[in-house]
Amino acid sequence: MRRIVAYGPAMVVVLACVVTLFAGPAMLSGIGHAQTQARIELARADLMQDDILERIDAAMTARAESTLPSVVHVDVVGQRRSGSSGAGWVYDRDGHIITNAHVVRGATRVVVEFHDGRAEPGEILGTDPFTDIAVIRVQTRDGLFPMPRSTGEQPRAGQRVVAFGSPFGFKFSMSEGIISALGREPPSSSVYGQFTNFIQTDAAVNPGNSGGPLVDVRGRVVGMNVAIATARSVGDSLEDQEGDSAGISFAIPLSTIEPILDQIIEHGEVERGFLDIAFQPTLDRAPGPGGSVFPGIRVSAVNPGGPADLAGLEEDDLITEVGGNPVIGVQALRTVVAASRPGSEIGMTVLRAGALERVRVTLGDMPDIVLIREAAPFIAMQLGLRVRDRGGELRVAEVWPGGPAQRAGIESGDRVLSVGGRSVDSTLEFFVGMTDAGLLDGREVAVSVRGESSEEPRDVDVRIY
């Protein structure tokens, strides 16, 4: 009896250890679950008490509800394009719809679909392929809700924006992001005249977003989504060339869009302002008042009697601001000036001898030859060829496989005789002829060539899409 009593406490300890061994994990797990449950309840209570996310959601929903009735889906049918589409937005109550020029390039029929399901035939009122802007007009005046615009306000890096459009055909979609940078010049784009100065955003933009509005937190247009070519297939439709969204997308700024639209609507054509100066191709910096360093574009020459000369602009001036826009690169300067109509007055700030001075310039009219010279490399890329003067003749130096030039039957070594019925003897005449014949608007252009070993010319028809 004593041995049983003596071993009793030890047995109790052993039993306790056994119980702890098997029941302990379950007890600890229960405690852990209880703690997790407590954290869940606390987080839920915080979410119920703090409505900041609800207010953010409400603001985003309000942006959608205020914007989507002004967004349109654009269906395009062309001679060799079927089912191509993009987006656009209502500009005014007179039936003007805004989109990209490349969306309607070569169109034989355009249909504008509104958010409520209505579909209206659209007439292409005018296009400007050099800025990739187009105006479509619909006959209806009912149910048009013009987009409010942030006119006169400069977008800022970090600003939240929403891109609207029809990515991959999913109509009336929206994606949010921020403005990543300003004054961008993508390596390949749908703009021919180097008038880019694009807004860069990280909002998801995909094929079909082209022409849709980019709006700020108050639902105002700050830019228009523009397709960026990846050069995967030279000469194809810009919508076909686009890659999927990779966190980098671009938009034409409103300050470029408005002057072009007003010219198309009021005059049916676009004329471009001209300073008549030469300038350095890269951004320069110089010290100014108070020791501050100012960025800008350096003037290398001022042509006597030109608009800039008459306004008092001088060689070696550093242009730091034009038309209320900071000059953050060559494209910013070129785009603001070219988007203004000849005869209009534009203000500029220049840094001269360490002092800032204001200059007001009455812009001249940009000669066509200047515009085409700037656009020629981009036109050649879309055609898929390279031409050069050789021994007083214009020859095709190279034809890229799969491009429009090769598909039309143009071969390397061909001598170019005429474009659109006009004789050509230089590369500049070639591109002027192509542009005048409507190549950039999607028209078919007749080109007469003669092979190196042939006596007879042959006629081919060239078109870009």
Q: Which residues are catalytic?
A: 102, 132, 210
Indicate the burial class of 190 (C-beta count within 10 angstroms; 0-12, 13-18, 19 or more): buried
Angle (CA) 407 411 417, round 5°:
105
On whether the CB atoms of residues 87 and 67 are closer than 8 A, the answer is no
Nearest one of 133, 136, 305 to 223, comparing CA atoms: 133
Nearest one of 438, 393, 441, 382 to 415, comparing CA atoms: 393
Question: Can you read off the two tokens belonging to residue 92?
Answer: 């005014």
- Beta strand ranges found along 344-442 (DSSP E): 345-352, 355-362, 364-365, 385-390, 393-399, 415-419, 422-423
Q: How far apart are CA 204 and CA 173, in angstroms?
A: 10
Q: How far apart are CA 394 and CA 413, in angstroms?
A: 10
Question: Can you read off the two tokens belonging to residue 433?
Answer: 């002829």
Contacts of 75 (CB under 8 A, 6+ apart): 83, 84, 85, 110, 111, 112, 113
